Amino acid sequence: LGVLLEELNLSVACRLPGGGALIPREATARAALLHLPLCLALAGACLGRGVPDADAAVGEADLAGRLRGLSAAALTELNAALRAGELRDARLLCPAGDTKFLPWNCGAELAGVATVESALRRAWPDLDLSAACWGC
């Protein structure tokens, strides 16, 4: 987007419910689940906007920007956090195919997204993303 990295003001808040792990113990799996939150933070920095405070995100993105399904361990931990009300009043952006495995009556809005671009549209619905060159 023509922004130099040294000009970015980037902040990523990683909040784990109850002080516990929301993600599997394997380091590579942990890092993969931060792809979507990092993509949102980087896009927000480039756009000069913060990610909405009510948004929470989890997911692994491939190089084409498609989100992969969560592992069974991650789904188990996420289910436990949702049922405990630890994400109450949040909008959870997660892989679209995984929302059917999550409780809908948990006080959080489950927003299934298939791609990073669809997550960007959810986070900032007023932006015209058609002008951006995401795949260049």
Tens digit of each residue's pLDDT (9 = 90 or more) over 19-57: 444 443 444 455 667 889 888 988 888 888 888 888 889
- The tokens for 60 are 């692994």
- The predicted model scores a pTM of 0.74
What is the reported pLDDT for 22?
A: 42
User: How far apart, in whole angstroms, are the C-alpha atoms of residue 73 and residue 66?
Assistant: 21
Higher pLDDT, 132 or 121: 121
Between CA 91 and CA 102, with CA 96 as vertex, the angle to 5 degrees is 65
What is the reported pLDDT for 128?
A: 80
Query: CB-side exposure of 56: number of CA atoms within 13 Å?
Result: 18
User: How far apart, in whole angstroms, are the C-alpha atoms of residue 125 and residue 53?
Assistant: 15
Q: Is 110 helix (H, G, I), strand (E, B) or coil?
A: strand
Query: CB-side exposure of 135: number of CA atoms within 13 Å?
Result: 7
pLDDT at 122 over 50: yes
CA-based torsion, 5, 10, 16, 17: positive or negative:
negative
Asked if 71 and 29 count as a contact pair (C-beta separation under 8 A), the reply is yes
Higher pLDDT, 95 or 9: 95
Higher pLDDT, 125 or 31: 125
Q: At which residue do the structure tokens 């990092």 appear?
A: 38
